[in-house]
Structure 1
Amino acid sequence: MGVGTYIAIYFIVWWTVIFAVLPWGVRSQHEDGAQEDGTEPGAPQRPLLIPKMLVTTVVAGVIVGLFAWSVETGRLTLDMFPMPVKMYKID
């Protein structure tokens, strides 16, 4: 696979991981008892986005690195995945 393919895979994995990491450690304004006027009670008090983005970047890098290693060493090939069965035959 080319570098562009791995970049695309990294992009998809990064977004998947960020949505998995976002809820970690979030406390709402209602839970902290510090709700400000004009805000949603369920809004996060401190979302901690920078640390979550750093964790996501590292985790996505490890996942894509392991995937790239397994593809490049031949441990993972396209033949290992089932292909859809053709429903009809065209002559």
Structure 2
Amino acid sequence: MGQMNIATAIMVYLFLWWGLFFMFLPFGVRHEEKAEGGNDPGAPDRPLLWKKAGAASIGAGLLFLVWWYLLDTGLFSLVS
């Protein structure tokens, strides 16, 4: 893994995953036409969280591979 230890790799992946997940949250949001009693009218009808988590996982994996490639080839370094 070159200059990156396993803890750093996990943290980079998790950072990428959460960033992408929060960026995907607003996509595809539809609100209920008539909110039932006790429901927030601004709450999404179907938030599609599993799709968004899957997209974040794939995107974070691809970005992590780019990060790893840049470290492995020496185009980017974690040390100065």
TM-score by length of structure 2 reads: 0.88
1:49-85 superposed Cα distances (whole Å, 9 cap, x missing partner): 11110000000110111001110111112478xxxxx
Q: Which consecutive aligned stretches of 4+ in structure 1 deviate over 6 angstroms post-superposition?
A: none
Counterpart CA distance in 2 for 1:71 and 1:49 is: 32
Greater relative contact order structure (CA < 8 Å, 6+ sep): 2
Output the amino acid matched with 1:16.
G
Matched, 1:39 2:42: no
Structure 2 residue runs of 5 or longer lacking an equivalent are: none
C-alpha RMSD of matched pairs (Å): 1.4
Q: Residue 63 of structure 1 corresponds to which residue in structure 2?
A: 63
- Equivalent residue in structure 2 for 1:15, among 18, 30, 33: 18
| Aligned length in residues | 77
- Equivalent residue in structure 2 for 1:26, among 23, 26, 29: 29
Matched, 1:51 2:51: yes
Aligned residues: percent identity? 36
